[in-house]
Amino acid sequence: MILTVTLNTALDLTYHVPALTPHAGHRVTEVRERPGGKGLNVARVLAALGRETVVTGFAGGPTGALVRELLASAHQTTAAPHDALVPIAGSSRRTVAVVDGTTGDTTQLNEPGPAVTPQEWTAFLDAYGALLRDAEAVALCGSLPPGIHVGAYAELVRRARSAGVPALLDTSGEPLRRGIAARPDLIKPNAEELAQLTGAREPLRATRDARRRGAHAVVTSLGPKGLLALTPDGVWQATPPEPMRGNPAGAGDSAVAGLLSGLVDGLDWPGRLIRAAALSAATVLSPTAGDFDREVYESLLSRITVTESP
């Protein structure tokens, strides 16, 4: 089983409008709602790939109840992750994505999330420890809700390491800075998050700096240019044959799903990067985070270029 952690779970709302114009009213042509947050997006892609996946984190209030209801109902019709979310008193956040039908661009609005009490954090740690016993790998994803200490991911990485479970960390800012010092097996920042961490804008230099800070391996999202990986086995870049135009929301989460499934399947690094880059690119063509165009994904598997750097 693959475990994903989303401490700041959300209900994702996607509005489609013919064209997004500032300072104007808009008639919404389509509304979609689904469980969200980076770890849930990762889990949805893993489940679509046929992997047994469990999601944990926090869910509370009417929004959290709807998130859990949607997770349960997904099992009625399709492959979906299993719900091991921990209940809290506060109400889970919502995120709103507005998709411009003319340009295909997406505008994202993210709420901060509910306050989590020390007692709720302790209950989560107990649940997390129990879930690690059956996990083949764990992804620690996204922002921290209010009330969670900034070193939370470092604590979760250390607990995974003690349990012998490979840990992938995908967050940003100070939680990433603290978490990387706990020596996760892999971090997966995008170029901007990496620049904020290291102060370097040149991707390879920034990736080397990040690895020196404690990560066993670093895979950086380069947007349309693919993925750059610095690992104990070498340095590689995986590049799609052409840029994909569409909604980039969730593309990084799909890359995480590709990297984790490749790890569990025992693929070498080039193989993991091909899968991750193909999933990421195929997600750009989907209007909703956590989905990917399967036909595009399968066609890209043979068309991703992986080059090794000295």
The candidate with the shortest Cα–Cα distance to 12, out of 103, 92, 102, 116, is 92
What is the Cα–Cα distance from 160 to 32, expressed in whole angstroms? Answer: 35
- Of the residues 12, 170, 185, 253, which is catalytic? 253
What is the Cα–Cα distance from 228 to 225, expressed in whole angstroms? Answer: 9
Name residues whose C-beta falls within 8 Å of residue 147's C-beta, 6 or more positions apart in sequence. Answer: 115, 116, 117, 118, 121
- The average pLDDT across 44-73 equals 93
Q: Name residue, tokens 């990433």.
A: 176
Pairing of the two strands 227-231 and 234-239: antiparallel
Give yes or no for residue 243 having a pLDDT over 80.
no
291 is catalytic: no
The vertex-166 CA angle with 230 and 266, nearest 5°, equals 75
Indicate the average pLDDT of the chain.
91
Task: Return the pLDDT at 159.
Answer: 98
The vertex-24 CA angle with 21 and 27, nearest 5°, equals 85
pLDDT band at 18; cut points 50, 70, 90? very high
Q: For 107-158, how does the pLDDT look when each residue is reduced to its tens digit (9 = 90+)?
A: 888 888 899 999 999 999 999 999 999 999 999 999 999 999 999 999 999 9
Q: For 60-112, how does the pLDDT look when each residue is reduced to its tens digit (9 = 90+)?
A: 999 999 999 999 887 666 678 899 999 999 999 998 888 888 887 788 888 88
pTM of the prediction?
A: 0.91
Task: Return the pLDDT at 77.
Answer: 61
Name residues whose C-beta falls within 8 Å of residue 202's C-beta, 6 or more positions apart in sequence. Answer: none
